[in-house]
Amino acid sequence: MNDLHLVMHGLAIKKHGSAEDVAGVMGLEVETVRETLTKLVAAKRAVEAQGRYLLSPAARMLLDADYGRFYEDLRASPAFQAGYAGFERLNNTLKQLITDWQTIPVRGERTPNDHSDEDYDANIIDRLGDLHERAEEVLNKLASALPRMAIYREKLQRALEKAEQGAIAWVSDAKIESYHTVWFELHEDLLRLMRRERSE
């Protein structure tokens, strides 16, 4: 895979991302990403505002065509297929878990979790740890076919450990690389590689 493609792919996942964001999620050197982004901007394939980048509509079409071309082998790989199927299974568990984290059921009606009940929160972080152990297996399968997938394992692990240590924003805060943020970026990454549509 060439750097140009990876930078564009990274920018599709980290929309409005900085060079550091794209480098972090794609496992590239920041300098390489910066140079590539400069080229993309010069070729009008991306626009820059305050150090953050956005793909142009034409670049998005080119990128979509790339997925068809570059990942045929990957899509046919049994390890990657097994990993992807495993991810989709866990995805439902994760979504329910995040819902349970954000809301507390009171007689069937869900009310926002204000995180005043430490036991309730601890139980969900425990479930998240359990899910993470299963996610590691899935990510190992994915990484055996596409090594950069290991980055997600590390990012998820980092978010989990912070949450376990009491920094609970790392479960689902949308503005940081919380477990939920990273998980959905991974999902977006996989959907693009597999050329699937998001169902919800």
- Whichever of 35 and 185 has its CB closer to another protein, that residue is 185
Chain centre to alpha carbon of residue 145:
17
Query: Residue 40 — φ and ψ, nearest 5°?
Result: -60, -40
- Whichever of 76 and 122 has its CB closer to another protein, that residue is 122
- Contact range with another protein by CB under 8 A, out of 35-43, 68-76, 96-104, 141-149: 96-104
Query: Is-contact 172 102, C-beta < 8 A?
Result: yes
Q: Which of 43, 61, 68, 110 binds another protein (CB under 8 A)?
A: 110
Does position 116 interact with another protein (CB under 8 A)? The reply is yes
Query: Residue 194 — φ and ψ, nearest 5°?
Result: -85, -5
Helix (H) or strand (E) segment spanning residue 149: none
CB atoms within 10 A of CB 28: 19
Note the residues at the interface with another protein (CB under 8 A).
Answer: 12-16, 54, 86, 92, 95-96, 98-99, 102-107, 109-112, 114, 116-117, 119-120, 122, 125-126, 129-130, 133-134, 137, 161, 164-165, 172-175, 180-181, 184-185, 188, 198-200
